Structure 1
């Protein structure tokens, strides 16, 4: 059973990587700051760094997701219970990844813990569930929307005060052709531009001016790239202990080997299975430029790192997507149909995880 628990938890880590690894770098891919390959490599390296530093920076989350207090200690230490919860969460996240929907591993795992706990016959401590799980999971995405909605207008005001302007271009073959200048929105009379836009080409924003003696665009690209790494680091920091807790509870492996195993499985899942969710996060929620992406990333990284240090199980997915929602609401570029499908997926993640966790627990009980 211990070996089976180890294999199932690695499957959960793989599924987490395929659905979550690209979320931190979605803005640098969507804004054109980095290619898909460069963004994916950056996400892999920084997420793995966050995973390996979990023991020192986010040890409280290991305790939270050990399930102690949520269910009786004897159940929380049962490899059968923990395997059922891991399998229910893994199947939920894996299905979402196949559909290209960014869902929360945290919500999936919480649901699976509830379902497996109920199916074991032990019940679930509702007070612990509300305080340790639901409040941070629901509150943080709403906070991310509010913060980005406040920060972005302030950042835009600061940019204008510094004399940095924003011009829009369309890429036609190897050339960047000006569409509008100095954020005026006045379209340039170029037949190639009209044909390109009619064919679905998206404008590319570039910033003109200097910042600290550097080209404003170059400085912003560097900051944006670093902020994406910070989000990925925060995600590794927040997600890894939730999964490692199951390995430790099942006595399948020690803490340090567990961290390394989970980190590698998450990295491989992201490298090999992230493409569909990457396209959704980067291009289908909102149209972003590098400045907007920087604000969204700083919000996400700050909230997730703070929550990890406090031992709160927030969803990086929900926080990151909440940040994008906030930018889209302010700029009017949010794609409501995609957002609606994501919200529907969020609403079904926890109950689906609970259903699959319960089914896995009942199957194990039947098999003895």
Structure 2
């Protein structure tokens, strides 16, 4: 008996020791993740520099191009960590995609958009933010672009660290503006363009939120609140998927296929109308088959929106890769062109290897650092299900189309996050409206502690305020960083130019 007790105690001790060892392994693995991410990122940045050295080893500006390539790789990593979360966050938050599936889809479609449909040409300095003639010499221009690229990457990195999705394009614009002011004064900046960009801070999220809320209201009133939800879904879900298909056809025609073919706005609308009608007709029997045997409850409806939501996330990633990547690596392309030929007044062509750095950097950044922002956008602002997330994705495409038609500058980041806010605030309003109409007594708000009142809100106010603040200060913060970096470079180089 004593022997059995000894063996039992020995086994219990062994189990405790193994448990401690397993916990130590898990803790070590968790602690090593950031180090692994930093290591892979550093290796990618060095690889980008080596590629630039191989291609420009015989030129007089080899060191400058190598440094610029490293900064371009650093910027691409930050785009993957921050910007891509806006496309994938809603689908992950709605459980339509796993985190691994979202990362795989985003990496494939972002890279495809950048390499297959990425912009051939960007304007001389970030879409006319600064007059090129104000730079005087190629050396001043190169220092300004280096400062803009570095400052934009630093700002997006900081925003990712604090958990705020920001516009990488606005970061680049702010960087170019700050370097331009430091190099040539305030008169060098195209202020009417800057005023339009500042206006997009308000226009983008408000339009995105309003469109998302409108579609959520439509889904709730026509499907969710109907007595026979399944019959209503059979009638309206094909129509909604057709709208989504048509909207994305227009969106990709205008924004994602510029390199392949030039399509005007009216032609894009006709393409979208035809594609929308085709998808609607195809989806009628598909939804009828999918809805067979489903129970008459809200949980059943979520299954009907899952696949359209995944497809919309993939298409958003393709369009994002085709547009925003070119904007982000534009300063790198400008540095390469100015270093190789000395020309900095002409339009800037983006070489394939520069776009490849952008595409690969986005994939690495998303895989290594993206999950934090994906979780925040997808689940920490407000609770999303497939129907709500579908409204967010659809609002992104429609808002860009409306903005293009009206000639308004908008940010895809602000639209997507604004759509999440719009869905959340609509849910708050709708819940209160239904309680009042049903004459359900609402707890006396003033009698509740402040923290309890905040907890009961369907949109987390702390995230809302953090994100809005980050949006407002993105351009001035990137501009001040860039101005400081430019002055430091210029002083170090002995006032070159």
TM-score (norm 2): 0.60
Work out the number of aligned pairs and report it: 321
- 1:65 deviates by 5.3
Task: Give yes or no for the alignment of 1:143 onto 2:189.
Answer: no
Counterpart of 2:91? 28
Q: Kindly indicate which of the two structures has a greater share of residues assigned to helix.
A: 2
Q: Distance in 1 between matches of 2:401 and 2:115?
A: 15
**Cα gap change, 1:65 to 1:243, in 2 (>3 Å):** farther
Residue 32 of structure 1 aligns to a residue whose secondary structure is coil
Q: Distance in 2 between matches of 1:363 and 1:310?
A: 41
- 1:223 deviates by 0.7
- 1:311 deviates by 9.6
* Aligned with 1:337 (options 438, 456, 462): 462
Deviations 1:178-214 (A, max 9, x none): xxxxxxxxxxxxxxxxxxxxxxxxxxxxxxxx93321
Question: 1:74-93, aligned counterparts within 5 Å?
Answer: 75=135, 78-93=141-156
2:115–2:355 CA contact under 8 A, matched in 1: yes
Q: Kindly indicate which of the two structures has a greater share of residues assigned to strand.
A: 1
Deviations 1:47-80 (A, max 9, x none): 222222343xx557x2275354623346396221
Task: Give yes or no for the alignment of 1:346 onto 2:471.
Answer: yes
Counterpart of 1:198? none
**Computing the radius of gyration over CA atoms, which structure comes out larger, 1 or 2?**
2
Residue 274 of structure 1 aligns to a residue whose secondary structure is helix
* Aligned with 1:262 (options 355, 358, 365): 358
Q: Distance in 1 between matches of 2:133 and 2:307?
A: 48
Residue 228 of structure 2 aligns to a residue whose secondary structure is coil
The farther-off stretch of 286-295 and 98-107 is 98-107
**Cα gap change, 1:313 to 1:93, in 2 (>3 Å):** farther
Deviations 1:236-260 (A, max 9, x none): 2231110232122112585222222
- 1:324 deviates by 0.4
Counterpart of 2:131? 71
CA RMSD of aligned residues (A): 2.7
Q: Whose relative contact order is higher, 1 or 2, with alpha carbons under 8 Å and at least 6 apart? A: 1
- 1:326 deviates by 0.7
In structure 2, stretches of 5+ residues that fail to align are 1-63, 231-285, 292-300, 338-348, 429-457
Query: 4+ residue runs of structure 1 moved beyond 4 angstroms?
Result: 304-313
- 1:364 deviates by 0.7
Counterpart of 2:322? 237
* Aligned with 1:363 (options 488, 491, 496): 488
TM-score (norm 1): 0.79
Task: Give yes or no for the alignment of 1:247 onto 2:323.
Answer: no
**Cα gap change, 1:306 to 1:360, in 2 (>3 Å):** farther
Q: Distance in 2 between matches of 1:162 and 1:119?
A: 64
**Cα gap change, 1:94 to 1:39, in 2 (>3 Å):** same
Residue 320 of structure 2 aligns to a residue whose secondary structure is helix
**Cα gap change, 1:335 to 1:64, in 2 (>3 Å):** farther
Counterpart of 1:225? 310
Q: Distance in 1 between matches of 2:397 and 2:387?
A: 16
* Aligned with 1:41 (options 104, 117, 130): 104
1:238–1:308 CA contact under 8 A, matched in 2: no
Q: Distance in 2 between matches of 1:16 and 1:308?
A: 24
Q: Distance in 2 between matches of 1:81 and 1:309?
A: 33
The farther-off stretch of 302-311 and 77-86 is 302-311
Counterpart of 1:212? 288
**Cα gap change, 1:74 to 1:121, in 2 (>3 Å):** closer
Q: Distance in 1 between matches of 2:92 and 2:472?
A: 27
* Aligned with 1:297 (options 393, 407, 414): 393
Residue 336 of structure 2 aligns to a residue whose secondary structure is coil
Residue 382 of structure 2 aligns to a residue whose secondary structure is coil
Counterpart of 1:279? 375
The farther-off stretch of 243-252 and 255-264 is 243-252
**Cα gap change, 1:357 to 1:99, in 2 (>3 Å):** same
Counterpart of 1:203? none
